[in-house]
Amino acid sequence: MSGTLRLIRSIGNLFVIGYPLSSLLYFMWGLSMKRIVYWDGYNVLNGVIIFLIIAGFVPFSISLFVSDLQTGWRILASLFVFPLLCCSAFFWMDLPFYKQVNEMQFDRHKYLLTYHNSIYGEGAYDWYLFECARAGILCKATLLYSDEYGEFYNDSSLTSLVIDEDVNELHVVIDNDLLYTVGHPSREYIVMARSAQRGKYGYNLSQYKDPHTNSLIFNLYECDAQFRCARLPFVYSVPGQGVAASSRLFVEIDETTRDVHVIRQSASQDAELIFSYGDRPHCHVQECSIPDD
């Protein structure tokens, strides 16, 4: 056997074994990680890899004929690769191709504001914030908002990442609404179509889960037009076992007194005032408290 023929058969053997295994390893990684990691060039890299998997089927088919592996192994490899090739096509179509609209360096991390089309239909976006290492290699995703009907936050040009240097926090703003804050603690905000306005300030209800008690904690923030925000003396806590059944909370401004009201409402009860903020803060229900600081 000539050296050239031996080399061709060795390459064929390598391709018959390596092509299915490398494709399988990629899919095992992709299926487990694609929803929680992202990096610069994520869309391009995934597209290139899956294209190579599909395009690699041609040299793989040729390798089946030039390989000197036993016939049974070659048949097994070919039977394994065909469904893998079909999965490649479906996986490619199912990739969440994110579109990045903003980027900001903050507190030793790089933050990317991105979106992709919602599963609910055209014109509806799912918004994500990716927290990345400073080099932008590996990132963790936070879902900010998922739109079922395409009614809100469907204009990607109305977005910004704003650093509040007074309190060292990063705000995510979409369509002039505050959706998320990276800070102490990091928190999301209850979407109310528009924040309640009083004079030059907007009022936003935040929520986060206390990792120690598993309670859902609500706070009220007063923000100016540049999204410099101050936390008001209001804490509303829902115990862990009651989180799923918690009432809907929202903010409104009393038209007569111009006080800020926090209202809760459930499907079975009328709206109930739980907190008011005018000349001084006042709680109206047991779950509400006014911190000393």
Kindly report, residue by residue over 104-162, the tens digit of the pLDDT. 999 888 898 988 877 666 667 888 898 887 665 567 888 888 876 666 787 778 899 99
The CA distance from 98 to 101, in Å, is 10
Find, among 185, 183, 188, 158, the residue nearest to 173 by Cα. Answer: 158
| Site of tokens 């102490």 | 184
The answer to whether position 143 is within a domain reads yes
Find, among 156, 133, 138, the residue nearest to 41 by Cα. Answer: 138
At position 83, the amino acid (one-letter code) is P
The answer to whether position 177 is within a domain reads no
Indicate the pTM of the whole model: 0.70
| 120 and 73 assigned to the same domain | no
Burial of 130: CB neighbours in 10 Å, binned 0-12, 13-18, 19+: buried
| 282 and 216 assigned to the same domain | yes
Find, among 8, 2, 21, the residue nearest to 62 by Cα. Answer: 8
- 172, 203, 237 — which closes off a domain? 172
Query: Which pLDDT score is estimated for 108?
Result: 87
How many beta carbons lie within 10 A of that of residue 4, not counting itself? 8
- 72, 94, 116 — which closes off a domain? 94
| 167 and 225 assigned to the same domain | no
pLDDT digits (tens, 9 = 90+) for 202-218: 999 999 988 888 888 99
| 111 and 55 assigned to the same domain | no
Domain that holds residue 35: 3-94
| Count of domains forming the chain | 3
The CA distance from 242 to 218, in Å, is 14
| 268 and 232 assigned to the same domain | yes
- 74, 94, 114 — which closes off a domain? 94
